[in-house]
Structure 1
């Protein structure tokens, strides 16, 4: 007798979905130092157009959706909150460029902001002019991203670039803002661009098939033929970028690797042909990193030469060679100078003191220095519990500095800093319409420290969720690579978790730049294993302090940070209740051994070159994919994007397949955006759904683990 329909439906609901099983084909992908590297899932590298690959990714998406179906109601609630906090009615504070004021308008009903402007001398209430409507450009496209936005000096022409796939192959267009018409210009694979002073030419850099920005070209506005090559960078470790100084007088062409820098300058008001007299500021040499700005008749050079945390030197524009450099701001052991912004008579230093961000203004006439605080919030400002971003400040004669400040629990504030005395004026507070509700920067926020195995102090930022503090769910995040800093920004998804009683922690592990370039150097190449050890030390400290338990501690990281989480999971899987790996870099050995893979050669100085035996031995020990094995892993969610050019989708697909085949526990989920890049999906609906899915996974790891057992 057939079972009643209700019973059948209930049995289907309770039945655990079956995870996809990827076919295994033993293949030697590379032989290094006499060791053949076998990869049973190498067939997943075939590309997004391969039918077998697409079927497998679709099956993984279906499995992840089925496994999370019991949390459908929670995901809907999360999606509403995240959407409300992300998409708000808001206009940015205008920024003056020449005769125009520029700003953006965001609306609750729109996915992308509208770019507007109005003449400075326009009467009050005059209607603004539309500069660009990205939402109109994105209409009907599965993916859209706006990258470059460069205005000519006279405000007539806009050079902007877009990507409609997610692979970061940006096409540059030129719009005549006087007529509203697009010119015939279509420049492919553009990575940076800068207008000449007269707006007749555009210098731009392009990338090659390995996604290295390697060549500088010159384009005459309105022309459609091949653009002449100005300069080519042949060292595969270096990338090129071009920009104008704030003074507008010079082009700066930077060639940067992770271990050295070289900058050339040329007049922006002179012809820019292949015979342009580019002047090298300082020839590249191993270990020397520098950058610069210009004001008056002087270049201001931020350099780490014989000063690990950087110092500032002056160089006369008529002969800027190192022999002519003179000290202006000395380096300090406990303060890292991270950026320099030059204005007429003033120099603004972005700094980090024991990791805490801050700003200092140097008076070039007197040498006096003013440390910027935030009035009543000065304590918060100097304790590292906010993110400080120096905004767009195009006027070299400006008397004020535009700055943006945000925290985990408070949306972005816009401030103007008086360069004369450091006083701040609050211009605007972004609406707090989602979770956290503008609770402020300070409640439940502290800085703690753990001890790594070698005795080094590892700082972490702790933010308490709603409700009584104690042993409860905690989300631990870190990045730890490229010298990047991980400061506490405002994220509606994270706020939704905080409102539900989840604590949040950022670990400043080695490899990042929170404590300056030495902190980055402390976990590069053959020291790379330190990052995972630092993360584990912080996790152990949080448990020992009673802030959480191993059964409630979830780790999460993105890109290189996702690889960090993968390494920590292999080393101490029992320490974590779950993990979220967002577009993670997981097959370090396999990817870095392929010189044709995107971004590989320029990153040898970050991760190492596995063709070098000493680098290979270290990389083999920490590589997340290489070291997957028969361990009891917690639930792991891996997020991927099919068009991602930075970390290709197959790294994540192969990792999940191998973890499921060799590991125990889990479950192991792979969720791939079929129309997305390294930053995920671009559409509002897909973005919100992905965020809600991730937050629900974090909240549900305990139940998911029990179901998997």
Structure 2
């Protein structure tokens, strides 16, 4: 929950705005006087947009979203000529527009919400003329791109003209607009790809040095600019800010995050592997290991998530070097339920297909063991939130496959939580997990819910971490799960529960406290796996 402040750059004066329950968003109109901001409801959902003039006029409610599934977000278009109000659930979108030069007018709806139609909107130039850009899934799950001529009136859906058609193999994840180029963020073969369409020049895809990596447009700088900035990193390469010349494709590394002490990216081997799921699906794995440890079974830390269509693209971690330099390999299982291979990959791991998330993760673990990267006794697994649900589920299904497990703020009491619509976010989560008030959904969730499926068997050593102030996954979920495990399991392996009394869903605040949290997890892995 945020407090809002305005700073006058001419004299440095800072004023506090006396509004409660703010979501932290602030969007200026072009008069430098009118400010739009969001307000949270009792479940911490941004549901209301207010308009406020800095001359002291009382704040005015502009929009109120009553449907608990929809989150509200206001932003400026790339051209800075339009204010856009986005309303989105997990599966459905609606966008309203307002001329940024006329902020006292009313927003206009561009396309009324239709269940399962997702779209987002920007405003820029096409062939030198002002135009609207609409990314939509109405033609297929991997999205297509449409445009509409700016006639001075917000376009309707009938005005949309197809610019880039839907592709079964390429996901259009987003777009960035400059006056002379359109930049598309794509997902191809499980990896992010940046495709640039300069005006009057051939399009091209940005070339990068590593086989598996993380990449996104970090900043388009100014709308009238010939360059943008990209953020790039890999498992063995620290984060870089790269400047891209839009016309030529020339790249320049402006900054690379420094690594203290001796460090050589080439001392670590980064690989992309593929495991075979029980239904024959190929599941990608990203792995990094110290070069001299390659070719022999080593301790291995396997991380997974697999929900909400989120893509776990490989990322560099300074703290992780303490694992790698001790001969521990690190891997990410890109299981279904994530978005690494497009929308179909996400849908194949949600609702009635959620079991694929768990079987994919188990298949990745078996692949790493069968191909000599590690052994069951040396394999530690980890996940947080919905990834904690993943850890809880696979521990019930194949506990003998793992040597250690870490579950952070784990969504392990999923059935009981989804049965309580008064808890924050439960209603919005129906699109992801289903509504267990429906008998078939109840049985489906009950079949994999970690808490309900704890049985009298041996479990590996497990560390569970909860946040007392967590509004996303309540702290008692972890406590209930650990209590049932302690009362039921047949082994004497360590089972530890740490509840951070000052933490929320993202852990403790502060850079150094975050490092202490990682140190605790790594110390647990070292202790259990016998690593010096």
- TM-score, normalising length from structure 2? 0.94
**CA distance in structure 1 between the partners assigned to 2:475 and 2:481 by the alignment:** 10
8 Å Cα contact 2:268-2:290 kept in structure 1: no
Deviations 1:10-47 (A, max 9, x none): xxxxxxxxxxxxxxxxxxxxxxxxxxxxxxxxxxxxxx
8 Å Cα contact 1:372-1:422 kept in structure 2: yes
Which position in structure 2 is the counterpart of 1:322?
A: 157
**Structure 1 counterpart of 2:109, from 280, 283, 301:** 280
**Structure 2 counterpart of 1:463, from 276, 288, 310:** 288
8 Å Cα contact 1:477-1:506 kept in structure 2: yes
8 Å Cα contact 2:4-2:16 kept in structure 1: no
8 Å Cα contact 1:576-1:634 kept in structure 2: yes
**CA distance in structure 1 between the partners assigned to 2:100 and 2:80 by the alignment:** 7
- Check if 1:234 corresponds to 2:66: yes
Q: Return the offset for 1:223.
A: 3.6
8 Å Cα contact 1:586-1:652 kept in structure 2: yes
Deviations 1:205-234 (A, max 9, x none): 222111221111112226485x22111111
**CA distance in structure 1 between the partners assigned to 2:21 and 2:217 by the alignment:** 28
8 Å Cα contact 2:407-2:465 kept in structure 1: yes
**CA distance in structure 2 between the partners assigned to 1:683 and 1:337 by the alignment:** 35
**CA distance in structure 1 between the partners assigned to 2:42 and 2:272 by the alignment:** 44
Secondary structure of the residue aligned to 2:219 is: coil
Which position in structure 2 is the counterpart of 1:370?
A: 204
- Check if 1:205 corresponds to 2:38: yes
4+ long deviations beyond 4 Å: none
Which position in structure 1 is the counterpart of 2:506?
A: 679
Deviations 1:256-299 (A, max 9, x none): 11111111111111133xxx332222221122211121113211
8 Å Cα contact 2:259-2:318 kept in structure 1: no
8 Å Cα contact 2:267-2:291 kept in structure 1: no
Secondary structure of the residue aligned to 1:189 is: strand
Secondary structure of the residue aligned to 1:574 is: helix
Deviations 1:56-114 (A, max 9, x none): xxxxxxxxxxxxxxxxxxxxxxxxxxxxxxxxxxxxxxxxxxxxxxxxxxxxxxxxxxx
Which position in structure 2 is the counterpart of 1:122?
A: none
Distance 1:414 1:442, change over 3 A: farther
Q: Which has the higher strand share?
A: 2
- Check if 1:523 corresponds to 2:349: yes
8 Å Cα contact 1:466-1:500 kept in structure 2: no
Which position in structure 2 is the counterpart of 1:176?
A: 8
8 Å Cα contact 1:407-1:441 kept in structure 2: no
Deviations 1:188-219 (A, max 9, x none): 33222211112212111222111221111112
- Check if 1:306 corresponds to 2:132: no
Q: Return the offset for 1:685.
A: 4.2
Secondary structure of the residue aligned to 1:444 is: strand
**CA distance in structure 2 between the partners assigned to 1:671 and 1:492 by the alignment:** 24
- Check if 1:395 corresponds to 2:222: yes
- Check if 1:634 corresponds to 2:463: no
**CA distance in structure 2 between the partners assigned to 1:614 and 1:522 by the alignment:** 18
Which position in structure 2 is the counterpart of 1:264?
A: 96
Q: Return the offset for 1:244.
A: 0.5
Distance 1:441 1:421, change over 3 A: farther
**CA distance in structure 2 between the partners assigned to 1:576 and 1:496 by the alignment:** 21
- Check if 1:650 corresponds to 2:476: yes
8 Å Cα contact 1:262-1:283 kept in structure 2: yes
Deviations 1:361-390 (A, max 9, x none): 113446x3111113xx2xx2xx3x111121
Q: Return the offset for 1:319.
A: 4.5
Which position in structure 2 is the counterpart of 1:9?
A: none
Deviations 1:327-377 (A, max 9, x none): 1122222211111011113100011111111111113446x3111113xx2
**CA distance in structure 2 between the partners assigned to 1:442 and 1:528 by the alignment:** 38
Q: Return the offset for 1:441.
A: 6.8
Tell me how many residue pairs correspond in the alignment. Answer: 522
Secondary structure of the residue aligned to 1:486 is: coil
**CA distance in structure 2 between the partners assigned to 1:316 and 1:364 by the alignment:** 16
Secondary structure of the residue aligned to 2:429 is: helix
> Relative contact order (C-alpha < 8 Å, sep 6+): which is higher?
1
**CA distance in structure 2 between the partners assigned to 1:601 and 1:615 by the alignment:** 14
8 Å Cα contact 1:250-1:266 kept in structure 2: yes
**CA distance in structure 2 between the partners assigned to 1:588 and 1:441 by the alignment:** 43
8 Å Cα contact 1:172-1:188 kept in structure 2: no
Distance 1:472 1:224, change over 3 A: farther
8 Å Cα contact 1:263-1:291 kept in structure 2: yes
What CA RMSD, in Å, does the superposition of the two structures yield over aligned residues? Answer: 1.8
**CA distance in structure 1 between the partners assigned to 2:173 and 2:264 by the alignment:** 30
Secondary structure of the residue aligned to 1:551 is: helix
8 Å Cα contact 1:212-1:602 kept in structure 2: no
Which position in structure 2 is the counterpart of 1:695?
A: 522
8 Å Cα contact 1:466-1:501 kept in structure 2: no
Deviations 1:627-674 (A, max 9, x none): 122121101111111111111111112211111111232311111222
**Structure 1 counterpart of 2:272, from 447, 452, 467:** 447
**CA distance in structure 1 between the partners assigned to 2:335 and 2:258 by the alignment:** 32
Q: Return the offset for 1:408.
A: 1.8
Secondary structure of the residue aligned to 2:163 is: strand
The 5-angstrom pairing of residues 552-563 of structure 1 reads 552-563=378-389
Distance 1:223 1:525, change over 3 A: farther
Q: Return the offset for 1:579.
A: 0.7
Secondary structure of the residue aligned to 1:262 is: strand
Which position in structure 2 is the counterpart of 1:503?
A: 329
**Structure 2 counterpart of 1:337, from 172, 189, 196:** 172
8 Å Cα contact 1:185-1:222 kept in structure 2: no
- Check if 1:669 corresponds to 2:490: no
**Gap regions ≥5 residues in structure 1:** 1-168, 705-709
Q: Return the offset for 1:703.
A: 5.1
